[in-house]
Every structure is written in C-alpha cells, then in structure tokens.
Amino acid sequence: MATKVTKIGVLTSGGDSPGMNAAIRAVVRTGIYHELEVYGVMRGYSGMIDDDIFRMESRSVANIIQRGGTILKCARSDEFREPAGRAKAYENLKKRGIDALVVIGGDGSFKGAQKFSNEFDIPCIGLPGTIDKDIAGTDFTIGFDTAVNTAVEAIDKIRDTADAHDRLFVVEVMGRDAGYIALHSGIATGAENILIPETKTNIDELIASLGEKEKRRKLVNLVVVAEGDEFGGGNEIARIVKKRLPNIDTRVCILGHIQRGGAPTCLDRLIASRMGYHAVESLMQGRYNVMVGIVNNKLHYTPLDHAIKAKQKLSNQWLKIVKILAS
C-alpha cells in the first residue's frame, strides 16, 4: 500500500443523496489545505473507465454546500464489475499519479472500492452516502435526515386531506431493503401502522387493527409502508385493505424520488462536512480502506469489507414504540 498520498480522486457512486455536495466540498478543501492535488471523477466508476477526470480547485466547490444531488453525477457501472474495466480505470488514475480515492456511496460502491484497492494497491476511503441508512458502522448516513424530513413534510400534508375526508391513506416511502425512512417518518407523523422489510407483515393483524379503529369511529388513519415490504408496497396493501374493508375510503400516495432530492438539512451538511474532512485526514495518517462513520457523536472507522458484509440492525425497541404509540 502507498506510504504517502499526494493526489486523491473523489467520486459519488450509486444513488444520489442530499449532502453529497457538502462531502465533495470538504474533501476538496481539506485536500488542498494539506497541499494535495484533488481530482473529481464524473459519474462514479464509469467516469474512471471513460477517463472523465478533472483537477479540482477550491473554487470548484464554491456555492454547492446547499445544493442537492451531486456536481460529480452518479452512475452504476457494469463494466467496472469486470477485470478489464477495472484495469482501464486504474490506467487512467495512474497516468495522473492519483494514488488514493474517496468514494461517496452505499455498500455497492464500497464493494467496488474494496475490490479495486485489493487488485491495484490504491487506498480507498468510503463515505456512507445513502438515504436508506442501511450501512453498519455509523449512526448517520449522508442524506437520510433530509429524506426523512421530506417524507414527514409530505405525510403531514396528506394527513390534512385525510382528516378533511375521513380517509385512510397508505403512503409508500423509499426503502427497498431497509425500513428506516418508513420507521422514522411513520413515528414522527403518528402513523397508525408502519410496514417495513425487516419484519414480517401480518396482514390479518393490520386488517383487524384498521377494522377496530373503524368501529371506534377513528376514520383518519395513516399506514406508512416501505417500498420493499413483502407485499410489494403501497398499492398492494391498499388493494387488500379495500377488498377486506370496503367501507373504509382508502387512497394511496407514493412519494417516490422526491425523497432523494432537495437541499440537504443542516444535519446532513454537518455530517457530510465532518466525514469529508476526516476522509482526507485518514489518508494523511495512513488509515486506509475504511468507511468513515459517526457513532455516539464520535468518529468511527469501519473496515470496508465489514461495512459491506454487515447491515444496520433495526432495534426491536422501535417496533415496540410504534405499537404502543399507535394504539
């Protein structure tokens, strides 16, 4: 492994998340402070293969901290999964003398970084950029707080119209494999039921709960469901409810990709800035192939291979809170 880093590349990979720009800004300016050359890689690993790499200066990241998305763009690359694609990417880094990478993304991006580092002796630092908060080794991921706040704002508005019409709304939020957005936004908006991939959905229990509330004349109900729920998301849940409880006026709202966009919250900007700064500091200190996380408000470094294999575990206490508060 390289003993002294002089030139670093930074890229965003996988799905975009609010706060990625703040992380890029922190990496660039911390690198320049340490007299390193910093290069931006466009469109993730695809840009490495296509040689879409450019030198970044302090002014390159001016006025971006408040912007959603990522100035470096995101993409997924099938070519990078192949040895020939990775070899091509390495040659493009080598000709510029880039000897380290900061990869902002999720576990798929970290898998690519780990494999690339093992093959070509390029140290990598991972920053957890995903709205799903599904990566072990950190209490926060870049973009999660913004996504949850976006969902909460939307669900609050949906509750207003549910109340005006005495309706049940099934609200689908993002989360194919992880239910953190559904869990947090559901608790924060007083949802009567929250359905997530981590737990088995008891549809009979859901119907019984809604039926009991109907008898009590509690006609305004919210069911928040993650898109990865075992029944296939909001539309299927609503179909079952309509079939078994035809007297309940049921509507569906799928929030979709609005949760991925928008200006990052203060928390996401702070997290991203802190992580980006420590990514460069880690390289300067010779700490390689780790993910920078925050646990109990302290910096926490997780080996990339562990961050890839382990998944953030959902506490059963959250599920108990949901059940009690929605009763």
Residues of the chain with CATH 3.40.50.460: 146-260
pLDDT of residue 23: 98
- Residue 1: the pLDDT is 46
> Is residue 318 very low, low, confident or very high in pLDDT (cuts 50, 70, 90)?
confident
Predicted TM-score (pTM) of this structure: 0.92
Low-confidence winner among 117-126, 163-172, 276-285 (lowest mean pLDDT): 163-172
Residue 7 in marked binding region: no
pLDDT at 158 over 80: yes
Strands (E), 42-179: 53-56, 100-105, 124-128, 168-173
- Quickly name the fold that domain 7-143+264-309 has: Rossmann fold (3.40.50)
Q: Tokens representing 149? A: 């706040």
| Contact status, residue 257 vs residue 82, Cβ threshold 8 Å | no
Band of pLDDT at residue 309, cut at 50, 70 and 90: confident
Give the residue-averaged pLDDT of 213-240.
81
In the chain, residues under CATH classification 3.40.50.450 are 7-143+264-309
pLDDT of residue 307: 82
Q: What is the DSSP string of 221-250?
A: EEEEEETTSTT-SHHHHHHHHHHH-TTS-E
The answer to whether the annotation marks 233 as part of a ligand binding site is no
Residue 167: the pLDDT is: 82
Count Cβ atoms below 10 Å from residue 216 Cβ, excluding itself.
7
pLDDT(62) > 50: yes
Query: CB of 192 within 8 A of CB of 155?
Result: no
220 is in an annotated binding site: yes
pLDDT tens for each residue of 167-176: 889 999 998 8
- Does 76 appear as a known binding residue? yes
* Residue 177: count of CB within 10 angstroms of its CB: 13
Instruction: Tell whether residue 205 is among the known ligand binding residues.
Output: no
Helix 83-94 vs helix 107-120: angle between axes, to the nearest 10 degrees?
70
The residue behind tokens 């802190």 is 274
Could you read off the pLDDT of 7-54 as tens digits, one per residue?
999 999 988 999 999 999 999 999 999 999 999 999 999 999 999 999
100-105 and 7-12 as β-strands: parallel, antiparallel, unpaired? parallel
Two structure tokens written together for 29: 């300016």
Q: Is 190 annotated as belonging to a binding site?
A: yes
Four-way CATH pick for 146-260: 3.40.50.1820, 2.60.40.10, 3.40.50.360, 3.40.50.460: 3.40.50.460
Residue 214 has pLDDT above 70, yes or no: no
**H or E stretch at 85:** helix 83-94
201 pLDDT more than 70: yes
Sign of CA dihedral 190, 194, 199, 200: positive
Strand partners, 323: none
Q: Is 216 annotated as a binding residue?
A: yes
Least confident of 58-67, 97-106, 192-201: 192-201
> How far apart, in whole angstroms, are the C-alpha atoms of residue 195 and residue 183?
8
Structure tokens at 20: 């990625």
pLDDT at 2: 47
DSSP string, 292-316: EEEETTEEEEEEHHHHHH-BPPPPH
Q: Which residues are catalytic?
A: 132
d(CA 101, CA 123) in angstroms, rounded, equals 6
pLDDT for residue 230 is more than 90: no
| Whole-number Å distance between alpha carbons of 163 and 311 | 38
Q: How far is CA 18 from CA 10, 29, 211, 242, in A?
A: 17, 19, 39, 36
Q: What is the spatial distance between Cα 116 and Cα 112, in angstroms, rounded to a whole number?
A: 6
200, 205, 211, 225, 236 from 195: Cα distances, Å: 8, 12, 17, 5, 12
Decide if 223 contacts 171 (C-beta within 8 A). yes
